[in-house]
Amino acid sequence: MVSKDQVTEALDSVIDPELRRSIVELGMVRSIDIADDGAVDVTVSLTTPACPIKSHFEQSVATKVGALEGVKQVNVAFDVLSDDEKQALAGKLGRGGLPEGALAQVKNIVCVGSGKGGVGKSTMTSNLAAALAADGNQVGVLDCDVYGYSMPRMLGVEGKPPVTEERKIIPLEGSGGVKVMSVGFFVEKNEAVVWRGPMLHKAIQQFLEDVEWGELDYLILDMPPGTGDVSITLAQLLPQSKFLIVTTPQPAAQEVAARAAQMAHEVDLEIIGIIENMSGYVDPSGGRHQIFGEGGGQQLADKLDVPLLGKVPLEEDLREASDSGKPLVVSNPDAPAAQAIAQAARGIIAHTPKELPTMQAPAPAAAPDRGAKELPVIQ
């Protein structure tokens, strides 16, 4: 008969997709009961009763425990962590508060950052989001640049987001059907935001926890320039996010971008890849000019051992499209810059899961021994 330890071990590979840790480690396995007839009852404690990913947990638990020898049936039940338990969990995670499931249905979170300002983070964010949406994905964009917000303008959306009875903020819909949230929706036009430290932290936290993002394949975060407070806050709040680095081709920018990578490593965020922006300019007569130098994106990608997802040329229509609120990938998908960004979006798709990751990826299979011969099958 299967033992409790074996069941616990099997459950260790079921992870909470928001917290990216095992439900065993998080103390979310309330009970395990094993009956003589091989039926196993598992109760999982959730942070919120309305947890929208219950069925994913149910499936993962049933699959993992059901695979054990001697298990005939798996019954999965749920209850809710008490307030004390939730606090203990928050303490364990070293964070101020737990998400109440607002991001529970978000399959992938990608932070677009760079060490340096003005390299095209926001342009990439808005165009990548629109490209991912054009490819049939549900996409949200969170403008984390509280002081220098630009997503409302680049995705052509303004207004006051409605608030539900449960006090959840509904994101507005921008170009290409992308859900957008930005501090720009809450301040008067051109008003400067003068929040500091704790307010900033609170604003970002609220955008993550109190916004009704719903089901998303991708939530793309437009980061402010630099490697400051906001990046650290985000890394703490979103341990599951991946980091996409935008750099220009010159060695100096690449070194600054490497610092952003360093920060991502320090806070334990996975780097999904590099986009080299402003990578060459083609003049109207077809001549190529390397205005910002050459090769920095590839060098950085090699150094970090991550893919170079795209090289986006300097193009006037890319800027114009952003200024007019309709990303180039939507307004002119055939433009070279739009194609380069669409290719980068495909790279993101290739490097991210399609489903909510409630199960840890199985350990990579041992490489086949190329020298070994297959045994002949005896008929």
Ligand X SMILES: Nc1ncnc2c1ncn2[C@@H]1O[C@H](COP(=O)(O)OP(=O)(O)OP(=O)(O)O)[C@@H](O)[C@H]1O
Sign of the dihedral through C-alpha 91, 93, 97, 98 = negative
Nearer to ligand X, 50 or 282 (CB): 282
- Of 30 and 319, CB closest to ligand X: 319
Whether 18 contacts 358, CB under 8 Å: no
**103 versus 278: smaller Cβ distance to ligand X:** 278
CB of 150 vs ligand X, minimal distance in Å: 6
| Residue 314 found at the interface with ligand X (CB under 6 A) | yes
Distance from C-alpha of 14 to C-alpha of 44, rounded to nearest angstrom: 11
With CB under 6 A as the contact rule, which of the stretches 73-81, 114-122, 236-244, 369-377 interacts with ligand X?
Answer: 114-122
The answer to whether the CB of 173 falls within 8 A of the CB of 180 is yes
Q: Which one of 18-26, 171-179, 282-290, 314-322 is the stretch in contact with ligand X (CB under 6 A)?
A: 314-322
Q: Does 118 bind ligand X (CB under 6 A)?
A: yes
318 binds ligand X (CB under 6 A): yes
| One-character DSSP codes across 3-30 | -HHHHHHHHTTBEETTTTEETTTTT-EE
140's CB contacts (< 8 A; 6+ apart) are 106, 129, 171, 178, 179, 180, 181, 213, 216, 218, 219, 220
Q: Give SS3 for 374.
A: coil
Q: Does 110 bind ligand X (CB under 6 A)?
A: no
Please report whether residue 121 would count as binding ligand X according to CB under 6 A. yes
Residue 157 phi/psi, 5° resolution?
-140, 135
Given a contact cutoff of 8 angstroms between Cβ atoms, the answer to whether 107 and 213 are in contact is: no
Contact (CB, 8 A) for 54 and 61: no
240 contacts Mg ion (rule: CB under 5 A):
no
Residue 340 one-letter amino acid:
A
Q: Is residue 122 close enough to count as binding ligand X by CB under 6 A?
A: yes
- Least separation in angstroms between residue 192's CB and ligand X is 15
If binding is defined by CB under 5 A, does position 122 make contact with Mg ion? yes
Q: How far is the CB of 139 from ligand X (least distance, A)?
A: 18
Q: Decide if residue 322 touches Mg ion (CB under 5 A).
A: no
> From residue 62 to residue 101, what is the string marking binding to Mg ion with x (rule CB under 5 A)?
----------------------------------------
Smallest gap, in angstroms, from Cβ of residue 126 to ligand X? 8
Question: Per rule CB under 6 A, is residue 18 in the interface with ligand X?
Answer: no
Complex with ligand X: residue 45 or 123, whichever CB lies closer: 123
Q: Does 280 bind ligand X (CB under 6 A)?
A: no
Pick the piece of the chain touching ligand X (CB under 6 A) from 56-64, 68-76, 143-151, 206-214.
143-151
What's the distance, Cα to Cα, between the start and end of the chain in Å? 36
Tokens of 379: 């008929």
The single residue among 49, 148, 228, 353 that binds ligand X, judged by CB under 6 A, is 148
Structure tokens at 136: 């049939």
Instruction: Annotate 37-72 with DSSP letters as a single string.
Output: TSEEEEEEEESSTT-TTHHHHHHHHHHHHHTSTT--
What is the 8-class DSSP label of residue 250? S
Distance of CA 198 to the CA centre of its chain: 24
Q: Which does 315 bind (CB under 5 to 8 A by kind): Mg ion, ligand X, none?
A: ligand X
Residues 186-205: x/- map of binding to ligand X (CB under 6 A)? --------------------
Nearer CB in complex with ligand X: 119/216? 119
182 lies in the binding site for Mg ion (CB under 5 A): no
What is the pairing mode between strands 172-174 and 178-181? antiparallel
Rounded CA-CA distance 92/86 in Å is 10
Residues that bind ligand X (CB under 6 A): 117-123, 145, 148, 150, 225, 277-278, 312, 314-315, 318-319, 322, 337
